[in-house]
Each structure stands twice: as structure tokens, then as C-alpha cells.
Amino acid sequence: MEKWALVFPGQGSQYVGMGADLYGEFKAFREVFSRAQDITGIDIAKICLEGPKDVLDQTIHTQLAVLTFELAAYDIFKGHIGDAAPTVAAGHSLGEYSALYAAGSLGPEEAITIVQARAKRHQEALPPGAGAMAAILGLDYEAVAKVCTTCSLPGEPLDLANLNAPNQIVISGNAQAVQRVGEMAREAGIKIFVPLPISVPCHSRLLSEAAALFGEDLAKTDFNPCLIPVVSNYDPCRLHSPDCSRELLRRQIVSPVRWQETVERITAMGVTTVVEIGPRRVLSSLIKNINRQMRLLYVGDGESLLKTAASLQCR
């Protein structure tokens, strides 16, 4: 039997109108959003479908919107694939919570509740505009680390946030420091510099206090044993379990997302196909740059749902 993995993107995959056709077609999809509204007190469906963009892009809304979409899309997908079952799951940053849901470690109420707490800790960590994130293409790990050191000043730190793929790294930290990197991009040899639509400096030391507070939230959350392995962002050598998930998720707040190593770990487990479930197809291109032999499928709307389900069932 073919071995395949589930992966879920995080913040940055959102857009106004996400999930419109699935929401209209599937009652089960709508029910997940209704339950999320009951839990959070926020009309997440309206924010996803109508925006406006500046509201959707606020971290407190973005994290809930992306998570709820992914939980709902996974539920629909699971109902379309019959006996086909993934070998392993992983998520990029916020997507790790969707992976834990798919693995049975978190129920829908637990996943939505803890992500709302996570978003709140992120949102309240810094004043609006104090932090920023940007993607850098064209430099390797060592070169980007050197740029971060050059552009950091006392009280204005920069960190490597996402080690996404060869020559694709995201930086995070003080907004002025990120801006300095953009200003010296050509001189530093950066081919592409892209500020990200994320309102807080995720995976940076600026969130140390938020991580400590989030640890208190995690202590109240129940985790079940995973039905399939879930690879950790913080340390891809470690798999989630009720004994370590709280530590792994707390550390994820201030540590880089080691996505390239995650994909390499999945590959080492014999996986030959990856199914990405999310509002937008963003992880597939990263995976292609890490392992060109990997077969890549996607679920993000009604057409891709049916196409991917059929592809899995006929192999």
C-alpha cells in the first residue's frame, strides 16, 4: 500500500472567501464553523467568507479562521476516502494543531479552545505594528543568520522563524529590524524579500512572555494518544504524545519551524505522497523544493477534494 502524509499550512494561507463552495455544499462543513462560533463567540464563517481582509488578517481571527477551515475540510475529506488512511501527519506552525486533530490527539472543542488561547497570547504580546515577519528567497541558512545579526540592534532583535526549504527562510522580530533587511536586500544578495500578512512576530524571542502564559493554557488541555504519528515543528526527531505535546507546542511559539527537516522525516518514513489540506496550496511548493519525487495532492475546495479523494482510492 502507498504511504501518504497529511500536512496543514498555517497563517498566511488565509484569504477572504476561503471555503465558500465547501460551506455552501456540505452541511458537515458548516456545522464545524457553527460549533466554532459557539465555543469562541466569534462568527468565524462570516470573517472567512466576507472579511474584510484587515479583520481576517488580525492574528486573533486568522488563527481561528485557518484552523476551523482545516478541521472542517479534513472532516469532509475523511468522509470521501473510504479505507485510505495516512501514515503520518504534520502541520506548519498553526497547522500543527490541525495535524493533532486529524490524528485524534485533540477533539474539535479542545483544538478550537487552545488555538483561541494561542491567538490571544500572540495578539496581546506586543503593541500593533511592533513586530513583523518576511520571507527571504535566495540565501542559505548561514547567510540569512548573518543578515539577521547585521540588522538587529539592542532592543530590536531578529530571529530565523521558518526554515522552510533550501533557500527559503522566514525571519521574524522587531518591525524596524525587518524593514532594515528589506532595505539592504539587494546588497545582501536576497533575490526576493516578501513581507508577510501576519500581525505578530511568530517564532521569535519577542514572544517569550506569551509562550510562558500559553504554557498555562496548555496545562488545562487534554491530549489523547495519536492514532498516527505527528511530527513536531520544534524538533522533527520527536513525535507528539500526551506526555510531550504541551512542551512541544509551548516551545514552538519561540522556536523556528523546521519544515525542511519535517519533510525529510516524513520521507524517511517511506511516504511517497503528501496531501495538503488548507485554504491555499502553500506547502506543496516548499515540499517540491525539498523532495522532487514526492507526489503532491491538495484539498482546498470542492473540485480538489473530489480529485484528491479519487486519486487516493484508485491507487
- What is the three-class DSSP state of 288? helix
pLDDT at 281 over 80: yes
- Residue 78 predicted with pLDDT over 90: yes
Superfamily of domain 4-125+207-313: Malonyl-Coenzyme A Acyl Carrier Protein, domain 2 (3.40.366.10)
Active site residue 93: yes
Q: What is the 3-state secondary structure (H, E, C) of 158-169?
A: EEEEEEEECCEE
Q: What percent of the chain has pLDDT over 90?
A: 94
* Coil/strand/helix, residue 58: coil
Q: Span 131-198: which CATH code?
A: 3.30.70.250
pLDDT band at residue 94 under the 50/70/90 scheme = very high
Confidence of residue 198 (pLDDT cuts 50, 70, 90): confident
Given a cut of 90, whether residue 239 has pLDDT beyond it is yes
Asked if residue 232 has pLDDT above 80, the reply is yes
CATH 3.30.70.250-classified regions of the chain: 131-198
Beta bridge partners of 295: 273
Report the chain's mean pLDDT, rounded to a whole number. Answer: 96
Supply the pLDDT for residue 167.
86
Task: Judge whether 203 counts as a catalytic residue.
Answer: yes
Q: Is the pLDDT of residue 1 over 80?
A: no
314 pLDDT more than 90: no
Whether the pLDDT of residue 313 is over 90: the answer is: no
Q: What would the mean pLDDT of 133-142 be, rounded to a whole number?
A: 94
User: Global pTM?
Assistant: 0.96
CA gyration radius, the chain: 19
**Residue tagged active-site, from 13, 61, 92, 93:** 93
Domain with CATH 3.40.366.10 in the chain: 4-125+207-313
